[in-house]
Amino acid sequence: MRLLKQIGDRVKPVKIGIVGLGTVGGGALNLLKANAAEISRRTGRDIIVSHVGARRDYPQYDLTGVTVSRDIFAVVNDPEVDIVVEVIGGTTTARELVLQAIANGKHVVTANKALLAQYGNEIFGAAEAKGVFVAFEAAVAGGVPIIKVLREGLAANRIDWLAGIINGTGNFILTEMREKGRDFADVLKEAQALGYAEADPTFDVEGIDAAHKLTILASLAFGIPLQFEKVYTEGITKLTREDVSYAEELGFRIKHLGIARRTADGIELRVHPTLIPEQRLIANVNGVKNAVLVQSDAVGSTLYYGAGAGAGATGSAVVADIVDIVRSLNVENINGVPHLAFQPDALADIPVLPVEAVKTAYYLRLQANDKSGVLADVTRILSENGISIEAILQKPAQEAGTVPVIILTKPVIEREMNRAIGGLEALADIVAPVVRVRLEALDA
């Protein structure tokens, strides 16, 4: 099944085909060249890019000695190529291309989280049947080796939960809103100008990109199949700078977290803005940086931090995957490292919980008419729904006649909170929709 079985092949360079020369592909190409000597010292083999597939010219890259094809399938069908790097993005052509590479007996390295979150079960199944690797360190948290950590480094542990800042664009926006008191829309425009956010920022700011990544992390952590469609996903577009600032007054930061948690009833999979205590290390991860906090039964909490995007960071992850594969060539690796951390026949069928069944504390912001009795009504409704109050912050009036009231609650099942918010919004003296942001202590 494995390539390069013959002893004679062990000294031959390993040949890489890269499909797509955007940020990730270009980063990997440059890195393989710049650090060729260092990498060869680590692997005992030379690694060369022999074939590149790209639908247009990329004059910024030196492609001397590299075959360049406009037909990207020419790369996966090239008998000389040992490892295919798929970095075109998207899910339709990418899926065909990866499956074709696998069918051709080639190892694959991909950075494509959308592809894996949606078609990973099919792709890994094909790879296992064919005896090739599909490696994907660059798919989550860029250059931070979080895939390897979950699959190998923490392999002794039963993982209880993980919480990650896994979208740099969102974290940049929230950091700017807090540090400079800016509005969401204003920072988003800057992020787009800086190249941190796409022209259509939906994937980033609505949490879809984070949900793709969380799908992958949860599968590795708990040994469950990839289930993107079950992730509860909420963006950061409705957060105001006031919310960010009130949270800070109360000792919290707002982060856009992806959270996967094992409970007695099933797995929680959720991406949403979250208040976390400011003294937590992960609360202090700012700008475009990523971090993943993992709580496991033996080691306790560990945290992994670094650049989540950019040519260097993603190139580093792609090339680390290549190094892993090269180091394991000549190997008939029956019990090797499984794609999803657990052996394919040992994936568990634990249910993923609906978000209504999730229990968290809450930050609530109500805009109330500035008259007596309103607060009494509010606390009565919360109490009737079994919700205890942790803190109340009443701010001076901003608009004529109304005052913002901020409430931190103790943990409550989302279903009950929904009912309580329905009751609050029905009050005559509550004038705007109630803003809610979940709060996680992330105790560790």
Please enumerate, by residue number, every residue annotated as part of a binding site for NADP(+).
Answer: 19-26
CB 322 within 8 Å of CB 47: yes
> What residues between 345 and 384 interact with its own copies by CB under 8 A?
346, 348
> What residues between 267 and 326 interact with its own copies by CB under 8 A?
281, 284-285, 296-307, 312-313, 315-320, 322-324, 326
Nearest-approach distance from CB 135 to its own copies, in angstroms: 11
How far is 268 from 122, CA to CA, in rounded Å? 23
Nearest-approach distance from CB 14 to its own copies, in angstroms: 10
3-state secondary structure the chain: CCCCCCHHHHHCCEEEEEECCCHHHHHHHHHHHHCHHHHHHHHCCCEEEEEEECCCCCCCCCCCCCEEECCCHHHHCCCCCCEEEECCCCCHHHHHHHHHHHHCCCEEEECCHHHHHHHHHHHHHHHHHHCCCEECHHHCCCCCCHHHHHHHHCCCCCEEEEEEECCHHHHHHHHHHHHHCCCHHHHHHHHHHCCCCCCCCHHHHCCHHHHHHHHHHHHHHHCCCCCHHHCEECCCCCCCHHHHHHHHHCCEEEEEEEEEEECCCCEEEEEEEEEEECCCHHHHCCCCEEEEEEEECCCEEEEEEEECCCHHHHHHHHHHHHHHHHHHCCCCCCCCCCCCCCCHHHCCCCCECCHHHCEEEEEEEEEEECCCCHHHHHHHHHHHCCCCEEEEEECCCCECCEEEEEEEECCEEHHHHHHHHHHHHCCCCECCCCEEEEECCCCC
Nearer to its own copies, 25 or 235 (CB): 25
Which segments are annotated as binding site for NADPH? Answer: 113
Nearest-approach distance from CB 419 to its own copies, in angstroms: 37
> What residues between 373 and 432 interact with its own copies by CB under 8 A?
none
Kindly report the backbone phi and psi dihedral angles of residue 396, in degrees, each rounded to the nearest multiple of 5, phi listed first.
-60, 155
Nearest-approach distance from CB 329 to its own copies, in angstroms: 6
Catalytic residue among 33, 130, 180, 213: 213
Which residue among 1, 48, 129, 331 contacts its own copies (CB under 8 A)? 331
Q: For the window 184-223, what string marks contact with its own copies as x by the rule CB under 8 A?
A: ---------------------------------------x
Rule CB under 8 A: say whether 336 interacts with its own copies. Answer: yes
Which residue among 12, 55, 180, 327 contacts its own copies (CB under 8 A)? 327
Instruction: Pick the closest to residue 286 from 258, 308, 260 (CA basis).
Output: 308
How far is 333 from 86, CA to CA, in rounded Å? 23
How far is 192 from 201, CA to CA, in rounded Å? 8
Nearest-approach distance from CB 238 to its own copies, in angstroms: 29
Which segments are annotated as binding site? Answer: 19-26, 113, 198
> What residues between 217 and 256 interact with its own copies by CB under 8 A?
223
Which segments are annotated as binding site for L-homoserine? Answer: 198
Which residue among 3, 31, 108, 259 contacts its own copies (CB under 8 A)? 31
> What residues between 33 and 62 interact with its own copies by CB under 8 A?
34-35, 38-45
Nearer to its own copies, 149 or 244 (CB): 149
Nearest-approach distance from CB 39 to its own copies, in angstroms: 6
Rule CB under 8 A: say whether 329 interacts with its own copies. Answer: yes
Nearer to its own copies, 61 or 119 (CB): 61
Nearer to its own copies, 133 or 232 (CB): 133
Report the DSSP beta bridge partners of residue 302. 294
Which residue among 342, 362, 387, 430 contacts its own copies (CB under 8 A)? 342
Nearer to its own copies, 164 or 404 (CB): 164
Cα dihedral 219/222/223/227 (nearest 10): -40
Interacting span for its own copies (CB under 8 A) from 224-232, 335-343, 379-387, 420-428 = 335-343
Nearer to its own copies, 147 or 412 (CB): 147
Residue for token digits 């390539």? 3
Look up 213 and say whether it is catalytic.
yes
> What residues between 78 and 117 interact with its own copies by CB under 8 A?
none
Rule CB under 8 A: say whether 12 interacts with its own copies. Answer: no
Nearer to its own copies, 10 or 180 (CB): 10
Q: For the window 132-171, what string marks contact with its own copies as x by the rule CB under 8 A?
A: -----x----xxxx--xx--xxxxxxx-------------
Nearer to its own copies, 260 or 421 (CB): 260
Structure tokens at 292: 């993943």
Applying CB under 8 A, the site for its own copies has a residue count of: 72
Residues with a catalytic annotation lie at 213
